[in-house]
Amino acid sequence: MTFRYHVLDLYRDQAEVAAASAKLAYGEELEQDKAIGPPPADGILVHGLYMDGFRWDNDGRVIADSLPRVMNSPLPMMHMEPMMDFEAGPEDYHAPLYKTATRAGVLSTTGKPSFAYLLRYRLM
């Protein structure tokens, strides 16, 4: 099973989502979620990822050089759609995804070695 990635033109700040979720009553929906529209038929929506050393250009829908003095740029929300035998095109950028900014060392939560690499996603 592989994933096809669709980059959406939506950004979500994790601190804002956490603050809004804390005030949410049971059965209510976040205002930010209403802006997304209907959920995808298959797959998941992912937010809160950052790019290290490059950025996403919404106008051209491509990766671009980082802006001056900005090391980590937010990646817009992505739809991860599972597909059987999906083959990405040669123009797609294969970006590594890590669960921490530090790519080695020891996890503070468990004290065990960090295996921070998760997967390779394709920005198209």
Task: Give the pLDDT of residue 68.
Answer: 92
Q: How far are the Cα atoms of 15, 19, 20 from residue 30, in angstroms, in the given order? A: 14, 11, 7
* pTM higher than 0.75: no
**Which H or E element spans position 5?**
strand 2-7
Per-residue pLDDT 10s for the chain (124 aa) are 577 777 888 888 778 888 888 988 888 888 888 878 888 889 888 888 888 888 888 888 888 899 999 888 888 888 888 888 777 777 777 777 776 666 566 666 666 655 565 555 555 5
Q: Looking up tokens 């020891």, which residue turns up?
A: 106
Identify any residues that bridge with 55 across adjacent strands, giving them in sequence order. 64
Cβ-based burial of 121 (10 A; exposed 0-12, middle 13-18, buried ≥19): buried
| Domain chopping of the chain, boundaries | 2-123
